[in-house]
Structure 1
């Protein structure tokens, strides 16, 4: 059921983005009286799941869910219809239109993707606002989870102030900022220290796997989630006990408790617990690993706020206020994606190992329906799709745009044969990227 819910959301989001992207080409083509032969969701090699001709255009759904297309007369595109190009140009064909009209037709899909992403973010800000943990609220610093954070030179208690000179506003931004960044500044024991992010940090992050969770967290109190049946402390401690002191020494955070418990290995000691509204001193046995045989309750941020550990930001926006907030979110999404793409094309970062295909994209959708999550992910994918299509690769919109701009600047139109070869080369590049990304997904599944 979980896979079905994820897959359904992915297909719905992808279908919406494809149809609107192709509509961005279709509408200006029609406005400029250019014949559109086909409008397809997904590819229809050999046969279609559905098709119906309305006017001069065949509308349909293909069986290969790798995208979609509009077939515009007189254009070297996905169909590779070279026979049509051997005939004399017709007034209704793409190649007969002025360069500025062809440019608008080619940019229409990208324009729709960016506008759609922006509109969704504006509506999300208006409908839901923002609730997050401000980085400034983490006054006692971060909690280092494993050696990955240590490779960055981080220690529990450090306060991360900025990455690449940009102040961090939201604590939840930190993992992505470390992925995108090159250097950062921390405050440790009152002193500010600048550190470089290792070039191979992303490679180590990918090898670590998503199952390991975040490599840094805000610091948590020591609240007992449950006591193991074979623990000698199953009578002394109870679920939801709030441990506030160990051996008479005050405990604020779980990481502090670990250090104190290590001092009492293989001994009995006294811990102070808050049980309901009552404070109690109980005697416990610490094992040879410095543990009590209990689980740690990972409280939600809202619970931590109620306990006075952190103060969450809770912003609401009127529709007018949501416009700049949505634009800002769209811009940060785009710039963050561009930074990640740069790292992917730098082999020394190892970021290429994290490049994923359809399985990776589908997995980012939640296992339960959430309107906020669905539209938030759809907005991100829309902006990502818009930028990817702008890349100057033949077979993508960006490749056609480059050739059209060249014609407008030089006055020389590339030959149909050149465009045909360029389109073919672009297909080879895209196919290689597609195979590599989805191959990465398969490798991750076996791992």
Structure 2
């Protein structure tokens, strides 16, 4: 935000427009810190409301709603006294700085850390597809190579996973590697990516064989003699062969527990809450948590075991994520080579972000709108400088795009009116600009309130 407002500030100074205030965070009624250097027209302020920041430019209707100033005669150092093309540059300068900064950060990430990834063809176990995906011709173990528009290179982080889902959702064909041969499948070209990802199980996931990597001492698995190297081949009488299927069956148990809890009358529920035993009855819970597993041992023998999962439905056994065992590729970048690669990567991220915005206008997409809580949840629980800078660059791109939207009170709204002025050679009236600013600010405040409400709902429940 500091850099965004700094862009407006520097552009205004370039055209000799007076900046009355440079504020980091908003400062209604009072501020935390303020100072004004000698021989300067600008007061620098640290506000108390962390919802962004602003620069107050003389002779402009903005967040300050200083209409009294607009009633005075026009001064040569005011925003309204300058040509439309200069005012347009001032309005877009913050967005331009955000965009350039994001691309620079991506370039420096590649220069410092390089790029390490698992090529999609190295995902030797392939992928697990749900019933809907199989209706389109996908089969467990397939490796997607490309669509009619996009070639896949990796599938080992959130962004690459999103790229694969996005491409398949929009594709009319997809080529997969199946048993060493390429097979082309026909797709509808208009699948909903959010639906694909929220299905239980999702449209596609990395296929993870159900071979147990380790067993926690004293866990449910340890108590019945399950050991590392064993393979779970059955769950409550149903044949399974992957960790994906095991996880799906556990999710169904969780749904059963929740249903039992919701079936209780309110009086019983209150009694359980105050006695610190919420949920369904201990007897019902124990019955649901006691499962029958078929376990294949290293020596080829198969045992049928009664296992009592813990309250979190944990078996106490772990599987190694497939992506950890696949051969990785690492690319180093020189300082100069990092810039075109960083620009290409940043533009790709930006295009994906814009493409996914259409889902905001769906019911599920609207629920995903968040504020500080949602942004904070993007950052890892343990400090990781590379992840920190990747998210900083992404947020800078988001700010650039959101601010350029043609909404009054945002930079894009002001820019739209300036473009209209250039085309029509007619300047909008100050009364119109004042009403547009109020309308835009009202909309943005309501949107912020909705985002904060979503955060509260998400983290409380």
> Residue 454 of structure 2 is aligned with which of 418, 428, 440?
440
1:112-160 Cα deviation digits (max 9, x unpaired): 001100110000000001111111112441135x789779885531322
- 1:340 equivalent to 2:366? Answer no
8 Å Cα contact 1:126/1:318 also seen in 2: yes
| Equivalent pair of 1:224/1:297 in contact (CA under 8 Å) | yes
Partner of 1:174: 161
TM-score, with structure 1 as normaliser: 0.78
Q: What are the ranges of 5 or more consecutive residues in structure 1 without an aligned counterpart?
A: 1-17, 247-252, 259-264, 273-280, 305-309
In the alignment, structure 1 residue 80 sits paired with structure 2 residue 65: yes
Aligned equivalent of 2:434, options 420, 443, 446: 420
User: Which residues of structure 2 form unaligned runs of 5+?
Assistant: 234-240, 247-290
The answer (yes or no) to whether the contact 2:243–2:319 under 8 Å persists in 1 is no
Instruction: Report Cα offsets for 1:165-185 as digits up to 9, x if no partner.
Output: 211111131234425743362
The Cα of 1:45 is off from its aligned counterpart by 0.2
Instruction: Tell me the residue number matched to 2:187.
Output: 195
Partner of 1:271: 297
* Range 148-157 or range 219-228, more displaced: 148-157
Q: What does 1:24-63 align with in structure 2 at a 5 Å threshold?
A: 24-54=7-37, 55-63=40-48
Question: Structure 1 CA distance, aligned partners of 2:359 and 2:72?
Answer: 45
Q: In structure 1, how many angstroms separate the alpha carbons of the residues matched to 2:296 and 2:61?
A: 79
Match of residue 287 from structure 1:
305
Query: Against the structure 1 CA distance between its residues 232 and 364, is the aligned structure 2 distance closer, same or farther, given a 3 Å change threshold?
Result: closer
Q: Are positions 1:327 and 2:314 aligned together? A: no
Residue of structure 2 in register with 1:374 after alignment: 388
Q: Which range moved further: 192-201 or 364-373?
A: 192-201
Number of the residue aligned with 1:317? 333
1:389 equivalent in structure 2: 403
Match of 2:3 in 1: 20
Give the Cα separation in 2 of the matches to 1:423 and 1:235.
Answer: 68
Contact in 2 for aligned 1:365/1:373 (Cα 8 Å)? yes
In 1, Cα distance between the equivalents of 2:383 and 2:188?
Answer: 40
Query: 1:222: Cα distance to partner?
Result: 1.4
C-alpha change, 1:432 and 1:120, in structure 2 (3 Å) is same
* Contact residue 417 and residue 428 of structure 2 kept, 8 A: yes
Contact 1:266 1:285 in 2 (8 A): no
The CA RMSD over aligned residues, in Å, is 3.5
- Deviates further, 197-206 or 427-436: 197-206
Return 422-431 or 45-54, whichever deviates more: 422-431
Alignment of 1:151-170 (within 5 A): 155-163=139-147, 165-170=149-154
Distance 1:374 1:132, change over 3 A: same
Are the structure 2 counterparts of residues 151 and 228 from structure 1 closer, same or farther at C-alpha, using a change threshold of 3 Å? farther
1:108 matches 2:93: yes
Supply the distance in 1 between the matched residues of 2:153 and 2:145 (Cα, whole angstroms).
Answer: 9
Question: Aligned partners of 1:357 and 1:408: how far apart in 2?
Answer: 36
Alpha carbons of 1:369 and 1:232: their partners in 2 closer, same or farther (altered >3 Å)?
closer
Quote the residue 1:8 is aligned against.
Answer: none
The alignment covers a number of residue pairs equal to 397
SS at match of 1:88: coil
